[in-house]
Chains A and B, each alone.
Chain A
Amino acid sequence: MSQTLELPRWLDVAVLPLVNLAFALAVAAGVVMLVGFDPGEVLSLLVKGAFGSQAGISYTLYYATTFVFTGLAVAVAFHGGLFNIGGEGQAIMGGLGAGLVALAFAHALPAWLMLPLMVLAAMLFGMVWAAIPGALQAWRGSHVVITTIMFNFIAAALLGYLLVNTLKEPGNMTPESRAFGDSALLPGVHDALGWLGISWPSTPLNLSVLLAAAAAVLVWLALWRTRPGYALRAVGFAPDAALYAGMAPRKLIIVSMAASGALAGLVGINEIAGVHGRLLPDFVAGAGFAGIAVSLIGRNHPVGVVLASLLFGALYQGGAELAFEIDGFSRDMVFMLQGLIVLFAGAMAQVAAPGLARVWFAIAPQRAASQVPQRTPGA
């Protein structure tokens, strides 16, 4: 078929991701049945676990906060034409940055100074960790996909080294730093609501959730309402045209990677400043990779990323509840679903599109007739 029928925008933006998501869910349901559970029961328990109680909702939002950061990180790089797989390493570095300033200054500084400092440090560390692969891509042509993967491993090794050799609390067998001290702890949402006189169960959900909301709005503003954001999207969309229009692709590659890394670094705030209060290994736990799925299903738009993060937050929380409720059910089911979503919504995104187009034009033939089929080269 050398002619493609273009899908109406709402179908392409809203329905196609849902169709792909449905495929992923269907395969996951097949696996659920294969291992001997009832998909309907699993789904209802999952929804109940994620949204059925105040604590459940809080956990869902807490997970979603981390996914907003990593999802936005992937999305921002994507708009610059880059695929940042290094969210994992950038998040590790973000946590390291936040942890280092907390260990250095938390005993001396009040919270109102300490917490912004930690946020800045987390962003800066994540930013640098992404900007180096960006710079290598821009000036040396090293592919950012490969270098960011390598940087994930290097970051993990660096954190491991520091925890084992310099930051480990004397007398503690596990490689963890000492606790930061109160001024470096981001208040939980239950604390904040407590100040307002509302009682709320104590959960890991902390004020980072506001930071995530602000980040989503700022990313939207920066990408769609500013000149550099426009240039960045232009470079990602059509590098040659952007160069011809006088934009500087090299600079923009670094800018988009830096912004991406800064966003991923904020995971460190949610986990290290918001929950653990000390530096420890494995606090990222795959969130960087989850960000890829989040961004894909959210079509690289901040609104989509937030919605997809809520979906994934619910899956993680619901999955944890399920593992608790059903004997033999493991949370790995959620990780598998995450991978299936990347497969169907990402790699095979266009497999379903022609089918959807046929269905749509069968339902609404008069629109198909009014549309002049566009000839795209060779498609």
Chain B
Amino acid sequence: MVDEVFIGTLVASTLRVSVPLILCALAGVLCERAGVIDLGLEGKMLMTAFAAASVGVVSGSVVLALAAAMAVGVALSMLHGYACVSHRGDQVVLGMGITMTAAGLTVVLGIAWFQQGGQTPPLPDAVRLDRWFVGAGEVVGQIPFMGRALQLAFFGHNLMVYATGVLVFAVWWLLYRTRFGLRLRAAGENPGMVDAAGVSVKALRYQALALNGVMSSLAGAYLVLAQNPSFIPNMTAGRGYMALAALIFGKWHPVGALWACLLFGFLDAVSIRLQGAKLPAFMGGGEVPVQAIQAMPYVLTVVLLAGFIGHAVAPKALGRPYLKER
């Protein structure tokens, strides 16, 4: 019975910490498949989280909070496009710039608007996302042997957790089953060909970036609407980079990225749970090296990138600005 509860809550917390990673990785997949590197995921997530939190606190409306996050996310993506697609600026540098600016700007505005050292006040309950399928979970909980674990693991999450699953499918569908997706991927592999076919590479990359802005704003909004009761300075704490690692680990594929995010989320959930726990006697019996588990996603990504387990091949034109011949 104890094990059942343990497994159920572990799966549940894995899902909950994975959701912002998955959304953020989808944002990355969308624009990197179009050939635009996004190292600004961390900054976009932080900035949109702040937008959602501050508008949520002031207006008391989920819809307005989400709208504000999306407006900020898309605006940042358009800046990304203006600098890197229109003016062929360095995409890596732009991402670093957005992330660094976001880290400072959110705190400056937070202090000015809310006077709580950069935090926002806690969001009112009306703005927080409700738990869904609680009733269905009760029913499932009655099933013998595994009912309780299933209930704890998969029911009673907020809407965004379930929506994220749908979004992974939607992004996959968009990229692999629609004409737009084919063109978008072509813009990341061989922009010259797209251009020769009479399709604008620039427009495709801007569209990909707009979708990227929407996705990263959902990731940011999740942090304050579902995970944490208020915005805290630097609350993304490297999640944007971890999402980037996951999208590489998932070989720039939405479903691959989903599994990578779940793996990284699982490691995160485990490391929180094992803080201070003892290793079993046959492993020396010392404290569990939590930091080693936390560093695992990054180590795995480096190993994968080095080609020691499979090979991650980036879109061919990734990071290369497209120059239209005249």
Q: Is the CB of A342 within 8 A of B104?
A: no
8 A–B pairs (Cβ distance < 8 Å), ordered by A:
A85-B96, A149-B244, A157-B292, A333-B108, A336-B100, A343-B101, A346-B90, A351-B83
How would residues 82 to 96 of chain A score, 1 for a CB under 8 Å from any chain B CB and 0 otherwise? 010100000000000
Q: How far is the CA of A269 from the CA of B100 in the complex (A)?
A: 25
From A139-147, A203-211, A253-261, give the one contacting chain B.
A139-147
In the complex, how many angstroms separate the beta carbon of A35 from the nearest chain B beta carbon? Answer: 4
Q: Is the CB of A141 within 8 A of B96?
A: no
Q: How far is the CA of A35 from the CA of B114 in the complex (A)?
A: 11
Q: Is the CB of A339 within 8 A of B102?
A: yes
A160: nearest chain-B partner, CB-CB: B291
Q: Is the CB of A338 within 8 A of B87?
A: no
10 more A-B residue pairs beyond the given contacts A85-B92, A154-B302, with a C-beta to C-beta distance below 8 A: A142-B305, A149-B244, A150-B298, A150-B302, A157-B292, A160-B291, A328-B112, A343-B83, A346-B94, A377-B325
Q: How far is the CA of A378 from the CA of B195 in the complex (A)?
A: 14
Q: Which residues of B contact A (CB under 8 A)?
A: 39, 43, 83-84, 87-94, 96-105, 107-109, 111-112, 115, 118, 233, 238, 241, 244-245, 248, 287, 289, 291-292, 294-295, 298-299, 301-302, 305-307, 314, 323-326
In the complex, how many angstroms separate the beta carbon of B239 from the nearest chain A beta carbon? Answer: 11
Q: Is the CB of A165 within 8 A of B289?
A: yes
> B93 is contacted by which of A35, A133, A328, A347 (Cβ under 8 Å)?
A347
Q: How far is the CA of A333 from the CA of B107 in the complex (A)?
A: 8
From A4-12, A189-197, A288-296, A301-309, give the one contacting chain B.
A288-296
Per DSSP, chain B at the interface is helix
* In the complex with contacts A343-B83, A351-B83, A336-B104 CB distance below 8 A: yes
Q: Which residues of A contact B (CB under 8 A)?
A: 2, 31, 34-36, 83, 85, 133, 136, 140-143, 145-147, 149-151, 153-154, 157-158, 160-161, 164-165, 289, 292-293, 296, 328, 330, 332-340, 342-343, 346-351, 377-379
Q: Is the CB of B97 within 8 A of A342?
A: yes
* In the complex with contacts A339-B100, A340-B101, A143-B93 CB distance below 8 A: no
* Closest A-B pairs by Cβ, 8 of them: A336-B104, A339-B101, A339-B100, A347-B94, A335-B104, A35-B112, A343-B97, A157-B295
Q: How far is the CA of A296 from the CA of B93 in the complex (A)?
A: 9
Q: How far is the CA of A377 from the CA of B324 in the complex (A)?
A: 10
Q: Is the CB of B103 within 8 A of A146?
A: no
In the complex, how many angstroms separate the beta carbon of A42 from the nearest chain B beta carbon? Answer: 12
Q: Is the CB of A339 within 8 A of B302?
A: no
Q: How far is the CA of A296 from the CA of B100 in the complex (A)?
A: 14
> A332 is contacted by which of B43, B103, B306 (Cβ under 8 Å)?
B103
Q: Is the CB of A146 within 8 A of B89?
A: no
Q: How far is the CA of A348 from the CA of B80 in the complex (A)?
A: 10
Q: How far is the CA of A150 from the CA of B264 in the complex (A)?
A: 14
Contact residues in B for A351 (Cβ distance below 8 Å) = 83, 87, 89
Q: Is the CB of B305 within 8 A of A146?
A: yes
> A342 is contacted by which of B93, B109, B244, B302 (Cβ under 8 Å)?
B93
Contact residues in B for A153 (Cβ distance below 8 Å) = 238, 241, 295, 298
Q: How far is the CA of A378 from the CA of B101 in the complex (A)?
A: 33
Q: Is the CB of B89 within 8 A of A349?
A: yes
A336: nearest chain-B partner, CB-CB: B104
Q: Is the CB of A289 within 8 A of B324?
A: no
